[in-house]
Amino acid sequence: MDIARSMGLMMPELIIGGASLLLLLVVAYGGKGSARAVFIGAATALGAALFFVVPTVTAGVAGAGADAFGTQFSADAFAAFAKVLIYLAGIACLAVAPSFLSRFFALRGEYAILVLLAVMGMGLMVSATDLVALYMGLELNSLAAYVLASFLRDDQRSAEAGLKYFILGALASGILLYGMSLIYGFTGTTSFGGIAAAISGDMSTGALFGVIFMLVGLAFKISAVPFHMWTPDVYEGAPTPVTTFFATAPKVAAIALLARVSLDAFGDQVFAWRQVVIFAAIASIVVGALGAIGQNNLKRLLAYSSINNVGFILIGLAAATVQGLSAMMVYLAIYVVMSLGSFVAVLMLRNGQGEQLETFDDIAGLSTTRPLMAWCLLILMFSLAGIPPLFGFYGKFVVFQAAVQADLVLLAAIGIAASVIGAFYYIKFVKVMFFDEPADRATGEADSVSWAILIGSAILVSPLAYILTNWLTNQADTAAASLFLG
């Protein structure tokens, strides 16, 4: 039966959804005492979902064989590649959250369930091949994210972050929905394939406005300039494990969704959206770099770093080629590791009373008091800056190479020049940690899970990671080709 086949292709989402319902019952009957068991169950569910998607990437599944429920869902290699990153980031974020939440007496199983529901929405987002499925996944992810941002109910900053995220997120969803309604009105279909066929010739003005409104709505989700205004405030105010989650998994899902919409639904009208993407790429690189320079709060600085990195990722999308999409996926994979390590390092910074430390003043002379943490942060910051021979350099290199191959030489040149600006605030980390007088504030002990993730992230972006170059590039090439073949 077609339903049985479609359900099989959606097995990762079914596992996560079923686990969410089951764990919700556990929380209802077990209360706070069941919280750690719920976290373990949630991580196990993501691991099981990961088990189902990995073979899809390696097999390069594409085309009609990956379609489920007609033309609403695609379990192709492109979606699977994004889901691997999302699930791994989700597991890591679940692993570091309990120690933080327990210090605020907020360790509740509902947190893990909200993460599961958000991840389920992300899975729908990256596999959506229909506007209705797209919106369902996006809203499932967003609604869970709003609650996560304000999870510390007694913390004014957390409540403020959740409220800001909700208001601006609702505005962006409305803009996206309006764009989708225009596209449906002028094409008569919500299917990506049907939309591509309807606008393959001359695009009407109404459809063009629909494309622009959709790009604006999605630009908010990836925090691209000029729709980035929520990012620094939400990243600073949300609990640090939530910020870690926001900077990794949802970023992958939103960028993969943007790529699928642009290349699948509007692939025949590249010139209609390329200018918008190029502007957003350049603006994000420049604003992200300049905005970070004056920041003293580490989470706000990393928020601007996230905006900056989105700009580099969009350069790969602007190429609108298999090589550009592959480079974008490679950069995304490296970026997730760098961001995860950076935010976990911030999460580990706390004083002897367990209070969170978040400013440059707090990490002054860290190389003297916490040398291992300082050296891991040095590797991560230099990798984010794209300094060779660290792996972050390879991510930027493949993106710029794809842009040059697509005759976007000027865009690549601007990106290379602007990346120099960003190096300043990354080097500031090193200057403060290694050359300033020790503040000796970060005296709190971190848990072994956080140390494992921090050290693992540093190793994965070190020169040792170049042994993974061919494997990662081949997987990204396979994922990118599957989207174009579909």
pLDDT category at 458 given cuts 50, 70, 90 is very high
Assess contact for 443 and 369: CB atoms under 8 A. yes
Q: Which residues contact 247 (CB under 8 A, 6 or more apart)?
A: 235, 302, 303, 306, 339, 340, 343
| Secondary structure (3-state) at 386 | coil
| Secondary structure (3-state) at 73 | strand
pLDDT for 463 equals 87
Rounded distance between C-alpha atoms, residue 327 and residue 281, angstroms: 15
Question: What tokens does 106 get?
Answer: 């907020």
Rounded distance between C-alpha atoms, residue 164 and residue 303, angstroms: 15
Percent of the chain's residues with pLDDT above 70: 98
Assess contact for 409 and 319: CB atoms under 8 A. no
Assess contact for 328 and 395: CB atoms under 8 A. no
pLDDT for 88 equals 94
pLDDT for 223 equals 87
DSSP 399-414: HHHHHHHTT-HHHHHH
Higher pLDDT: 116 or 196? It is: 116
Contacts 24+ apart (CB under 8 A), 286-293: 286/225, 286/311, 286/418, 286/421, 287/225, 287/226, 287/228, 288/225, 288/228, 288/422, 289/418, 289/419, 289/421, 289/422, 289/424, 289/425, 290/421, 291/232, 292/422, 292/425, 293/421, 293/424, 293/425
Q: Is the pLDDT of residue 82 over 70?
A: yes
pLDDT category at 337 given cuts 50, 70, 90 is very high
List pLDDT tens digits, range 190-235.
888 888 888 877 778 888 888 889 998 898 888 888 888 888 888 8
Strand partners of residue 256: none
Rounded distance between C-alpha atoms, residue 327 and residue 414, angstroms: 18
pLDDT category at 312 given cuts 50, 70, 90 is very high
Assess contact for 473 and 115: CB atoms under 8 A. no
Of the candidate ranges 69-78, 83-92, 399-408, the one whose mean pLDDT is the lowest:
69-78
**Mean pLDDT confidence for 119-124:** 92
Of the candidate ranges 140-144, 198-202, 425-429, 453-457, the one whose mean pLDDT is the lowest:
198-202
Strand partners of residue 297: 359
pLDDT category at 483 given cuts 50, 70, 90 is confident
For the chain, the 3-state helix, strand and coil shares in percent, each to the nearest 5, are 80, 0, 15
- Nearest in space to 99 (alpha carbons), one of 236, 234, 305, 244: 244
H-assigned helices in 154-269: 156-187, 192-198, 205-221, 230-237, 240-246, 249-260
Q: Is the pLDDT of residue 7 over 70?
A: yes
Q: Is the pLDDT of residue 356 over 50?
A: yes
Task: Show the CA angle centred on residue 471, arms to residues 470 and 474, nearest 5°.
Answer: 80
pLDDT for 453 equals 92
Q: Is the pLDDT of residue 249 over 80?
A: yes
Q: Which residues contact 64 (CB under 8 A, 6 or more apart)?
A: none
Rounded distance between C-alpha atoms, residue 115 and residue 64, angstroms: 31
List pLDDT tens digits, range 15-36.
999 999 999 999 888 877 888 8
Of the candidate ranges 3-12, 166-175, 300-309, the one whose mean pLDDT is the lowest:
3-12
Question: What tokens does 398 get?
Answer: 């493949």
pLDDT for 1 equals 44
Query: Which of 24-33, 179-188, 442-451 ranks highest by mean pLDDT?
Result: 179-188
DSSP run (H or E) holding 1: none
Task: Show the CA angle centred on residue 345, arms to residues 344 and 347, nearest 5°.
Answer: 60
Of the candidate ranges 10-14, 277-281, 333-337, 420-424, the one whose mean pLDDT is the lowest:
420-424
List pLDDT tens digits, range 274-291.
888 999 999 999 888 888
